[in-house]
């Protein structure tokens, strides 16, 4: 598929700053990435968020009668509101009118809608949310999954996460032979609870992945691993902790720079370096997390997403489409199940 024809369905009503920031990020993505954007939601609110009349000619607005609030029970809300913005956006992907979907709204609702409307890839029992973290190795990232979709995981689920994560790391992140690890409390094969021990054995025996063993908490950002699998309970805690640490470090850097003239001179000299630090550590630079395992490309954004995060999330969706992640996952899982 050519890069200029990728069509992204965007839940314009999802997120703390919707629709203004969602629309702004979508417009930038159209301008800089060459994607077609379909803004799904209340047409009047979306039009009010557009910066000018000419902007209306650059996007397609798809009407949705309702939206799912962050405090609603996801599965109930998805079923009770079939014409909500997330359901309509998912429907566009299901009908082939869009190549991918992005939402910064209720992540549970996005997952429920994806499962109900897109279904799972054959060979996958549970989809996983995968997100990339920076590492101590410059220009290298590690993919962590699951970071919130499944609180409890059987060893078989973790094995499936590893296969999906390895394929994504290879075809999108460009790692020729991704090194896969299992997040655990020790390096030894026998460490962890019964599920972890059994998952370790299954991962070790899977010829489709390059499993190199357990990863302790201190190994996550070491750069030694390309993919790390865990259950969604642990993964979500890890994700939120990493976001907090990144924000704290950036804040400390700002506070500790000298004040006055010396500070201005120092800041000017360090500005390119500080910008690179921010790019590596700020979760907004990554934009979102891919829901792997559903039969469609679905990117879930942070609830607090603003325009830069939305832009980066759409870029992630486009890269997944361009690199045929869905088709590659399907073929990989067929081989794995044989």
Whether 1 shows a pLDDT value over 50: the answer reads no
Whether 276 shows a pLDDT value over 80: the answer reads no
**How many C-beta neighbours within 10 Å does residue 8 have?**
29
Query: What ranges in 118-259 are assigned the alpha helix state H?
Result: 155-171, 194-205, 232-256
Q: What is the mean pLDDT of residues 148-165?
A: 93
Dist CA 328 CA 171 (whole Å): 8
pLDDT (0 to 100) of residue 41: 96
CATH H superfamily, domain 1-124+293-324: Isopropylmalate Dehydrogenase (3.40.718.10)
Per-residue pLDDT tens for 292-321?
Answer: 999 999 999 988 889 999 999 999 999 999
Residues 6+ apart with CB under 8 A from 262: none
Tallying the residues shown for the chain, one arrives at 338
Lowest mean pLDDT among 78-82, 256-260, 288-292: 256-260
Q: How far is CA 273 from the centre of its chain?
A: 26
Burial class (CB in 10 A: 0-12, 13-18, 19+), 101: buried
* pLDDT-based confidence at residue 2 (cuts at 50, 70, 90): very low
pLDDT (0 to 100) of residue 338: 52
pLDDT (0 to 100) of residue 263: 59
Dist CA 25 CA 40 (whole Å): 14
Of the chain, the percentage scoring pLDDT greater than 90 comes to 64
Strand runs (DSSP E) across the chain, as ranges?
7-11, 36-41, 60-63, 100-103, 128-134, 141-145, 179-183, 210-215, 227-229, 288-292, 297-301
Per-residue pLDDT tens for 195-243?
Answer: 999 999 999 999 999 999 999 999 998 999 999 999 999 999 998 888 7
pLDDT (0 to 100) of residue 3: 45
Report pTM.
Answer: 0.84
Task: Output the furthest CA–CA distance in the chain (Å, rounded).
Answer: 67
Lowest mean pLDDT among 131-135, 241-245, 300-304, 326-330: 241-245
* pLDDT-based confidence at residue 117 (cuts at 50, 70, 90): very high
């Amino acid at each position: 598929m050519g890069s200029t024809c990728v069509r992204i369905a965007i839940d314009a009503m999802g997120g703390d700053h919707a629709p203004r920031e969602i629309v702004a990020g979508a417009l930038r993505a159209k301008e800089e990435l060459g994607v077609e954007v379909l803004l799904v939601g209340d047409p009047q609110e979306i039009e009010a968020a557009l910066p000018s009349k000419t902007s209306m000619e650059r996007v397609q607005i798809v009407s949705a009668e309702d939206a799912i609030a962050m405090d609603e029970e996801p599965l109930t809300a998805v079923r009770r509101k079939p014409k909500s913005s997330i359901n309509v956006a998912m429907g566009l992907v299901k009908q082939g009118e869009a190549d991918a979907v992005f939402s910064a709204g209720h992540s549970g609702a996005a997952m429920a809608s994806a499962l109900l409307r897109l279904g799972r890839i054959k060979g996958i029992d549970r989809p996983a949310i995968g997100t990339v973290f920076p590492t101590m190795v410059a220009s290298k990232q590690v993919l962590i999954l699951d970071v919130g979709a499944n609180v409890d995981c059987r060893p078989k689920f973790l094995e499936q996460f590893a296969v999906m994560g390895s394929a994504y790391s290879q075809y999108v992140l460009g790692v020729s032979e991704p090194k896969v690890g299992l997040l655990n409390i020790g390096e030894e094969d026998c460490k962890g609870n019964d599920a972890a021990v059994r998952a370790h054995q299954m991962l070790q025996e899977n010829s489709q992945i390059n499993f190199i063993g357990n990863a302790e908490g201190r190994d996550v950002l070491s750069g030694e691993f390309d993919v790390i699998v865990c259950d969604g309970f642990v993964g979500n805690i890890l994700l939120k902790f990493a976001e907090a640490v990144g924000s704290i470090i950036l804040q400390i850097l700002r506070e500790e720079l000298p004040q006055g003239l010396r500070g201005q001179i120092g800041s000017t000299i360090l500005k390119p370096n500080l910008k690179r630090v921010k790019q590596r550590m700020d979760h907004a630079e990554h934009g979102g997390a891919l829901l792997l395992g559903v039969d469609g490309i679905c990117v879930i954004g942070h609830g607090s997403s603003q325009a830069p995060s939305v832009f980066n999330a759409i870029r992630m969706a486009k890269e997944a489409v361009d690199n045929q992640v869905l088709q590659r996952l399907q073929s990989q899982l067929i081989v794995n199940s044989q």
